[in-house]
Amino acid sequence: MQRRSSRLPLALVTLVVCASPAAAGDREARRFFEKAVEKWNDPNPNLPVKYALKALEHARNKVLRTNVLFLLGRLHHSRTGDFAEAEKYYEMVIKENIGVRDNTLRKIKSDAFRNLGNLIYASKGDVNAALNKYRASHNTYASPETADTLSQFLYRIGRDPKKSQAARDRQLEAATKLAREAIAMDAKKKHRKPSETARYQLQLLICLLAAGKEEEAKAVESELRFDKLADNSLYQQAILMALRGEDPSKIAETLHRTLDPRPTPKTRNDLRHFIRTEPDFASFLGREDWKDLVSDEPLTAASEGEGAAEQSSPSSRPVK
């Protein structure tokens, strides 16, 4: 979900180079791709878009073209704020890779589905459409991250007081199952990142506490290294604080740490939509110290495309 610090929050672009010798067009495409990534944080967000479009003109290899399309989606999603263009390129990634078996292409396609879910929920508030995209992401290329993202969204639905208790219980049970799945898949990885392991454990802890499973929650918490949690888990940390009835002003401070670094009013407003609609934060929305967290900033032509840099930019190094 696009609430992690631009990973909501977003996934980084990965350029994958095929093993066969590149055609002249693909060499040019890679050169323009790398230039687009190099200019990711340029004050003019249209500059990296220009280079990415040049890369798209030259790309012939399917994997390379898919990477370029995904980069264009990311650029419009995170830098220009043109969500219609972002959606268009994510959809192109998906439609051009129907039925693919190559793991590289499946992974990029999965990322496109996930980013579409983030975009649809933040900009349109369509819960069912977003949920379908998150499920498609997990079904396309199951990973600890796709399981974690889907778990977070099902947890949100499972906390909705407008739903029946039976419906809420079902969603929370599904969220808990996916949180366990994320941890199990992470445990099988050859190279584990402590920050990711801690984030997946945090999500399971949240689900167990919400379900009233205190003893199991204590066992999970005893293994959770809070000192290893990275900034992309700040939103989840805020949810945990709310579940435990901690000071709302402290929760607001935690949320500001993930909101304030976002580069444009539009990307900050996206996260505000998540905050406003998070059931665990509902009782805090009227507080004065939460006003900046829930009130959207005005959008102007000047503010979109402002020069603030993202927390992280895509890597330009080719990896397989």
pLDDT digits (tens, 9 = 90+) for 130-165: 999 999 999 999 999 999 999 999 999 999 999 999
Predicted confidence (pLDDT) per residue in 263-313, tens digit = 788 889 989 999 999 999 999 999 999 999 999 999 875 455 443 333 345
Q: What is the pLDDT of residues 209-234, one digit of tens each?
A: 999 999 999 999 999 999 999 999 99
pLDDT band at 23 (very low <50, low <70, confident <90, very high): confident
Number of Cβ within a 10 Å radius of residue 151? 27
**CATH architecture entry for 11-140:** Alpha Horseshoe (1.25)
The pTM assigned to this predicted structure is 0.84
In this prediction, residue 263 carries a pLDDT of 78
Is the pLDDT assigned to residue 178 strictly greater than 50? yes
Please identify which residue in the block is written with the tokens 């939460």: 290
Distant-in-sequence, close-in-space partners of 313: CB < 8 Å, separation ≥ 6:
12, 37, 40, 41
For residue 301, the model assigns a pLDDT of: 57
The structural domains of the chain, with segments of one domain joined by +, span 11-140
Helices of type H across the chain: 24-38, 46-58, 62-75, 83-95, 103-124, 127-140, 144-158, 165-187, 194-210, 214-223, 234-243, 248-259, 265-276, 291-294
Q: Are 225 and 192 in contact (CB under 8 A)?
A: no
Enumerate residues 6+ apart whose C-beta is below 8 A from 128.
none
Find, among 236, 279, 205, the residue nearest to 8 by Cα: 236
**Distance between start and end Cα atoms, the chain:** 25
- The answer to whether 237 and 281 are in contact (CB under 8 A) is no
For residue 230, the 8-state DSSP code is: -
Give the C-alpha separation, 18 to 240, whole Å.
Answer: 43
- pLDDT tens, residue by residue, 67-91: 999 999 999 998 888 989 999 999 9
Identify residue 101 by its one-letter amino acid code. Answer: R
Mean pLDDT, residues 168-181: 97
pLDDT score of 318 more than 50: no
- Packing angle, helices 103-124 and 265-276, rounded to 10: 80
